[in-house]
Chains A and B, each alone.
Chain A
Amino acid sequence: KAGVTQTPRYLIKTRGQQVTLSCSPISGHRSVSWYQQTPGQGLQFLFEYFSETQRNKGNFPGRFSGRQFSNSRSEMNVSTLELGDSALYLCASSLRGLAGDTQYFGPGTRLTVL
């Protein structure tokens, strides 16, 4: 079974631009979560989608948004990029998105904001 895939793997943007990242979960998984990983803050939860609905949201500004499609694929968007948005963005999928469900991570998208 194919794992979680994320595209693109690397991105370079400039301040003020916007960016869209994509995540394809493991086949059959209906929950997709997004995390931001930085050296100073570690992994921080952005949001979770289940059956095309945002079910949970972390403490990030409204510039960070996401959506999920009927095939469970998910995208996240960051508008008006800031230097501090440079990070590894990780997507994780799980079967039902319940507490205790195993989450499987993709390789991440490395975003650099100049």
Chain B
Amino acid sequence: QKEVEQDPGPLSVPEGAIVSLNCTYSNSAFQYFMWYRQYSRKGPELLMYTYSSGNKEDGRFTAQVDKSSKYISLFIRDSQPSDSATYLCAMSGKETSGSRLTFGEGTQLTVNP
């Protein structure tokens, strides 16, 4: 079983829809939770970063972390065609692991005009 599970999709929504992306994880040592966005033929770019449990909002994006359920989410409001990309959840934990990130498989999102 993978440490981080993410529904690979693909997910197709109309422009303006609310998108919900989710990951579950098994390693309770994870403390730092990230969402990366990856456009085709590009490297991942950091979208949201959350430490421990809680919510974080940045414009149309909201990240939620529920450590008790080992579940993280990314919500995209008023989705745009430019949001079409692969979304990757990533996590890291104890100091002894350095900055090593453990990724979910990625969810491919298409927002249709």
What is the minimal beta-carbon distance from A68 to any residue of chain B, in angstroms?
13
Select one of B41, B46, B88, B106 contacting A102, CB under 8 A: B46
8 A Cβ contacts from B50-70 to A: 51
User: With contacts A106-B43, A108-B43 known, is A45 near B32, CB below 8 A?
Assistant: no
CB of A99 within 8 A of chain B?
yes
Interface size bucket, B side? 20 to 34
User: With contacts A100-B31, A100-B32 known, is A45 near B100, CB below 8 A?
Assistant: yes
User: With contacts A42-B105, A42-B106, A107-B43 known, is A97 near B88, CB below 8 A?
Assistant: no
| A99 with B105: CB separation less than 8 A | no
What sequence of 0s and 1s flags, for each residue 63-95 of chain B, a beta carbon within 8 Å of any chain A beta carbon? 000000000000000000000000010101111
| B43 with A48: CB separation less than 8 A | no
| B98 with A98: CB separation less than 8 A | yes
CB of A72 within 8 A of chain B?
no
User: With contacts A33-B100, A42-B105, A102-B49 known, is A107 near B42, CB below 8 A?
Assistant: yes
In the complex, what distance in Å separates the CA atom of A94 from the CA atom of B101? 12
Select one of A50, A90, A94, A100 contacting B43, CB under 8 A: A90
| A31 with B44: CB separation less than 8 A | no
8 A Cβ contacts from A48-98 to B: 48, 50, 55-56, 58, 90, 92, 94, 96-98
In the complex, what distance in Å separates the CA atom of A41 from the CA atom of B96? 24
User: With contacts A99-B31, A100-B31, A100-B51 known, is A48 near B42, CB below 8 A?
Assistant: no
Q: Give every chain B residue within 8 A of A33 (Cβ-Cβ).
A: 98-101
Select one of B51, B100, B104, B106 contacting A56, CB under 8 A: B100
Shortest Cβ distance from B49 into A: residue: A102
Give the 3 A-B CB pairs with smallest separation, nearest first: A105-B43, A43-B103, A42-B105
A-side residues, CB < 8 A to B, are: 4, 31, 33, 35, 42-45, 48, 50, 55-56, 58, 90, 92, 94, 96-108
Write 6 A-B pairs (CB below 8 A) sorted by A numbering.
A42-B106, A99-B95, A100-B32, A103-B46, A107-B41, A107-B43
